[in-house]
Chains A and B, each alone.
Chain A
């Protein structure tokens, strides 16, 4: 056992220096050091607030009415003051100002963005929830019961071949086909995105399970005769969760992008539900007359997706002790 240079560096960065820290605390300390990831986290915290506010203020206590149509006030620029003479009093925007302007029907873009933040975010989270659940199931089966034979082929080979095919299949076209055939509904979109994006997670979980299966605490649990369900869910899943968390974070980002692409093609969430994707897609017709209709949702998606991606990358580095030492 000699000291490769990596060794010398790894020790202060890893355990011995601060032995009292749990791995989670350590990861958090690492993450806090990553300015980009922290910026991402801040943006997402803000977004969470916006999404919550969006749900509350546009649906339950309507302060910002995303559905109010004010034809006389169409395509007003951001920050313009509402004209109280041309608009019915109950349709006046909060504070009398169109913060982000109005669209071609005179709807308040700010209100629609607020409402859309909740919808877009929930599409991202539900889709990723579905994809993570499938990914853990398939990857876990493959990693834990991989050696079990089904006739001439092992469970692992079968599932991983299937995963490979799904992984290289032109997913977007598949999504498009399915979404186009099903009745248009926000739930169908969530499900379809989820069902077509679990492959990365499955591979990760399989890899983790394969290495965990050989480790002492799992072998010990097996030797103790613990039921397999318990071994898998109490001992292995928590240990495999770090990489899954990373890919889920990035998955939310790509689900939001997929929804916006579907919206662009006209198969996204249908009106009157607003998502950032369909606001953006509708806004492209007004790119010269009312650029805010295009650039506001575009920038919002860019910032939020970037935030998810940066946070995901930061988490990856913080949770991966091997990368840490470099």
Chain B
């Protein structure tokens, strides 16, 4: 493991499950991640792999049916899972911001965007009414919304999807958080708007020196944006690497499949990653590697024996029997 002692945000051995009629369903099964100040970590995987759940678990925003079974979340030396709810609230939106996937539904339809930005300012920065409005306008300008002084009094339904996502970002960065968790921030947007939003995030990151945890299913986005990548599959991390290495030398068969499924740059329509077979249901995870049923290079032991995440070289680890024992730790 990379020897970063002073990681800003660190998740260790996180297990999350959901109560359903069929019993407790594991969604996240032992995830480790660390984020340094100012860096960008991407978490990649197909829908349902547990990456969004991980993000929500960090902020303790899981649905009532979701439960953190085990693990630790440390932020700047504090154990987030041990904090009281008021202490946790004081962190949310102030030191850790979050941007969600669906800008269309993530803003409250009955309040103006100015009110919604202002709320964060009132809670965490104690600003008065007039200051809030001025600050909201400034933030809207900062996230690139033209005519901010007029937009501030508009309701979400009067804005386009890209614009709403900018508002969401304005809310998330209003208190200059140290970490921004962006859960598929561009998925619901048009391709052209996607690029603009990513550019915005990058610019804000450089200006404010905040760390970003970018959750996405899109390796193209990862390549442009992140320094380090975690690849998740079926609630586990299957590969961890820096971006350059991952694209040059993907090790896990799943990562390779993802890369193969990546559309070439000239493709005009983004295609979702498609890999033969389907993700196994969380109730029927095999005892071994969860990818074994879809793996082109499957070995006899894969079905019963679960590979651990092992380093193969500095900063590159993979959980796969193909590469077990190949690297020096």
A-B interaction: yes
A contact set with B: CB distance below 8 Å: 1-9, 11-13, 16-17, 30, 33, 326
8 Å CB contact of A5 from B56, B184, B272:
B56
- Note all chain B residues with C-beta closer than 8 A to A13: 20-22
**B residues 1-36 touching A (CB-CB < 8 Å):** 18, 20-22, 25, 27
Q: Which residues on A sit within 8 Å (CB–CB) of B56?
A: 5
Please determine whether A11 and B48 come into contact, CB atoms closer than 8 angstroms: yes
Contacts A8-B18, A13-B20, A16-B278; A3 near B52 (Cβ below 8 A): yes
Q: Are the C-beta atoms of B63 and A2 separated by less than 8 Å?
A: no
A8 contacts B282, C-beta separation under 8 Å: yes
CB-based contact B25/A8 at 8 Å:
yes
In the complex, what residues of A have CB within 8 A of residue B25's CB?
8-9, 12
Bound complex: CA A111 to CA B50 (Å): 63
Some 19 contacts from A to B, beta carbons below 8 A apart, are A1-B47, A1-B187, A2-B183, A2-B187, A3-B50, A4-B101, A5-B56, A5-B66, A6-B63, A7-B47, A8-B25, A8-B50, A8-B282, A9-B25, A11-B282, A12-B25, A13-B20, A16-B278, A16-B281
Sorted from nearest, which 6 A-B pairs have the closest CB atoms? A1-B47, A2-B184, A3-B48, A2-B52, A8-B27, A5-B63
Determine the chain B residues whose CB is within 8 A of the CB of A5 once the complex forms: 18, 27, 52-53, 56, 62-63, 65-66
B272 to chain A: which residues have CB within 8 Å?
A: 1
Within 8 A of A (CB), among B48-73: 48-53, 56, 62-63, 65-66
Q: Assess whether B20 is in contact with A3, with CB atoms less than 8 Å apart.
A: no
CB nearest neighbor in B for A19:
B281
- Contact A9 B20, beta carbon cutoff 8 Å: yes
Is B90 interfacial (CB 8 A cutoff)? no
How long is the Cα–Cα vector from A254 to B163 in the complex, in angstroms? 49
A11 to chain B: which residues have CB within 8 Å?
A: 48, 281-282
- Give complex CA distance A33, B22 in Å: 11
A1 lies within 8 A of B217 (CB): yes
User: Once the chains are docked, how many angstroms separate the CA of A2 from the CA of B215?
Assistant: 9
The CA-CA distance from A5 to B67 in the complex, in Å, is: 11
Given contacts A8-B25, A11-B281, A16-B278, contact A3 B18 (CB under 8 A): no
Give min CB distance, B91 to chain A, whole Å: 20
Say which size band chain B's interface belongs to: 20 to 34
Interface centre among A4, A6, A13, A33 (most CB of B within 10 A): A4
Partner of B281, one of A1, A2, A17: A17
Residue from the set B20, B50, B216, B278 with the largest chain A CB neighbour count within 10 Å: B20
The yes or no answer to B283 lying at the interface (CB within 8 A) is yes
Shortest Cβ distance from residue A293 to the other chain B in the assembled complex, whole angstroms: 45
Distance in angstroms from A298 CB to nearest chain B CB is 37
Q: Name the residue on B nearest A17 (C-beta).
A: B281
**How long is the Cα–Cα vector from A33 to B47 in the complex, in angstroms?**
29
Chain A residues contacting B47 (CB-CB under 8 Å) are: 1-3, 7
**Cβ contacts B192-224/A at 8 Å (1 or 0 each):** 000000000000000000000001110000000
**Complex interface: chain B residues within 8 A of A30 (CB):** 21
Q: Nearest Cβ distance between residue B202 and chain A, in whole angstroms?
A: 20
Tell me, in angstroms, the Cα distance from A9 to B25 when the chains sit together.
Answer: 8
Q: Which of B21, B62, B217 contacts A2 (CB 8 A)?
A: B217
Give complex CA distance A4, B187 in Å.
13
Which residues from B are CB-within-8-Å of A3? Answer: 27, 47-53
With A and B bound together, what is the CA distance between A30 and B20 in angstroms?
12
Look across to chain B and name the residue whose beta carbon is closest to the beta carbon of A5: B63
- Give the complex CA separation of A1 and B186 in angstroms: 10
Residues of chain B lying within 8 A (CB to CB) of residue A1: 46-47, 187, 217, 272
| Complex partner residue of A12 from B53, B216, B281, CB under 8 angstroms | B281
Which residues 149-201 in B have Cβ within 8 Å of A in the complex?
Answer: 183-184, 187
Residues of A within 8 A of B62 (CB): 5
As a 0/1 sequence over residues 214 to 236 of chain B, the CB contacts with chain A under 8 angstroms (1 = contact) are: 01110000000000000000000
| Alpha-carbon separation in the docked complex, A33 to B23 (Å) | 13
CA A326 to CA B47, docked complex, whole Å = 19
Min C-beta distance of A191 to chain B, whole Å? 43
**Residue in B18, B183, B217 whose beta carbon sits within 8 Å of that of A9 in the complex:** B18
> How far is it, in angstroms, between the C-alpha of A214 and the C-alpha of B62 when the chains are bound?
34
Cβ of A321 to closest chain B Cβ, rounded Å:
13
Closest B residue to A29 using CB positions: B21
CA–CA, A158 and B259, complex, Å? 56
Give CA–CA (A17, B284) in the complex, Å: 9
Residue of B nearest to A326 (CB): B65
In Å, the complex CA distance between A17 and B281 comes to 7
Q: How would residues 254 to 284 of chain B score, 1 for a CB under 8 Å from any chain A CB and 0 otherwise?
A: 0000000000000000001000001001111
Q: Which of A6, A7, A11 has the most CB of B within 10 A?
A: A11
Residues of A near B49 (CB, < 8 A) are: 3
Distance (whole angstroms) from the CB of A4 to the closest CB of chain B? 6
In the complex, which of the residues A2, A6, A33 has the most CB atoms of chain B within 10 Å of its own CB atom?
A2
User: Closest CB of chain A to B238's CB: distance in Å?
Assistant: 16
In the bound complex, do residue B21 and residue A33 qualify as a contact, i.e. CB atoms below 8 Å apart? yes
Give the shortest distance, in Å, between B7 (CB) and chain A (any CB): 24
Contact B22 A17 (CB under 8 A): yes
> Which chain B positions have C-beta within 8 A of A12?
20, 22, 25, 281-283
Q: How far is the CA of A30 from the CA of B62 in the complex (A)?
A: 25
In Å, the complex CA distance between A17 and B283 comes to 8
Taking CB as reference atom, which chain B residue is nearest A325? B20
Q: Which residues of A contact B184 (CB under 8 A)?
A: 2
CB distance from A17 to the nearest CB of B (A): 5
